[in-house]
Chains A and B, each alone.
Chain A
Amino acid sequence: MTTRTFAVTLTIPDNEAFTAFETLGRLGIGVARVVRSDIWIFDVDDGAGQSLATTVASIETIHNPNKHRLSERASERPQPGEVWVATRDEAKATTVGGRAIPGVRSIRRRTAWRLLDDTGGDVAPALLERAVETFLCNPAFQVATTA
């Protein structure tokens, strides 16, 4: 079994990211920009993943080409500067929008957050950690993972 990871990011204005930006500012966590992505992690049977990228791109529940950019990640871990937030007791899903994907054994979802400073670079890890602790993750039912 192999694992394939995809990131889906809005190419149109992301209202949710903007709301996070506004709320973080109110909490005294000044950042220049917030970028949010949906992370989809698929555990697939060996040999069944060759057409997965094409299949994923065609499922509108995941990816609408009119407003999303789909990219495959090399790892099922966050990239440097990124935090992934997941539900702690996430149920094991095998379908997307009621549709099974051939060869896919399980599907996991994460929300990836990236906080950028005014140079376009990632904010300091301590600031990202503060944002996670105060707002981006509710530890009562979520878990945050950084690189």
Chain B
Amino acid sequence: MSARVAVVVFPGTNSEDETLRALRAVGLDAERVHWSQPETLARFDAFVLPGGFAYEDRIRAGAVAAHDAVMDPVVDAAQRGKFVLGICNGAQILAEAGLVPGTGPLRRPTAAFAPNASGRFQSVHVHVRLNVAPERVPILAGLDPGAVIPAWAAHGDGRLAAPPEELQRIERDGHLAFVYCDRDGKRVPAPNGAALDCAGLVNRAGNVLAIMPHPERDAWTYQHLDASRDRARMLAPSGGIRLFEHFALAVRGGALV
């Protein structure tokens, strides 16, 4: 039986379709779950919070959704070792919920994906590199050391911000899951001005991952500007799908604990 993954949709989420498509392409039984259906989440094995603008980013990006009733079972599941992946706005929600880096109490954020240094929404193709040992991210089971994944960064609030001592802790204790890099894996400054060139954070247990750029938007070759006009080649998997393949491996293996 295929592992069941809930793609949690808030008012303002806008990336659920491509996220569902990527999850289903790697063999997961992914299903959209509306924010008004928190009681249905108990039957899922893992959770994905997709991108968008939940609650119009009111107050702060991710802040309202982090306190939504539908997050209660997600937070509980994360505490019990189930896998939770947040992409873009989903990453912002996980930070506001205190699940990443997870160094403080729940719902008391110690870090944030704050407004970009440019003060503007930015959409740019990027590469991100696994910055921790693969065993630190069991949510991406079997990912190679230093793996480079292409993705599209598309956000106005993606700049990792935290007090200096928290940034030290994030780097020292292996929470800096992904950094921005070039296509060869060489670390480059974050396009949004993020501290530590951070593109993704992981919690202490390694079962909750927040990643700002969208791997699901680089999951098929037609999503490139220079894509082939040949239909078969356009529909070939692209680099972003690798993140979902390793997420699927982890989810099929069961919860962390």
Partner-B contacts on A (CB < 8 A): 15-16, 19-20, 23, 26-27, 87-89, 91, 133-136, 138-142
Contacts and interface: CB of A to CB of B under 8 A. Distances in A.
Contacts of B59: 16, 19-20, 23, 135-136
Interface of B (DSSP majority class): loop
Nearest to A24: B67
Interface in B55-75: 55-56, 58-60, 63-64, 67, 69
B114 A87 contact: yes
Given A138-B60, A140-B166, A141-B162, A19 B114 contact: no
Contacts, number: 54
A20 B58 contact: yes
6 contacts: A15-B56, A20-B58, A23-B63, A87-B114, A140-B110, A140-B114
Interface of B: 55-56, 58-60, 63-64, 67, 69, 95-96, 107-112, 114-115, 117, 119, 161-163, 166
Contacts of A91: 117, 119
Nearest to A113: B59
Contact of B161 (A134, A136, A140): A140
B109 A15 contact: no
Contact of B63 (A88, A133, A138): A138
Nearest to B110: A140
A135 B161 CA distance: 17
Given A89-B161, A138-B96, A16 B58 contact: yes
A133 B104 CA distance: 13
Contacts of A139: 109, 163
A141 B67 contact: no
A135 B60 CA distance: 9
Contacts of A88: 161
A87 B159 CA distance: 12
Contacts of B56: 15-16
B58 A87 contact: no
Contact of A26 (B69, B111, B112, B162): B69
Contacts of A138: 60, 63, 96, 109, 112
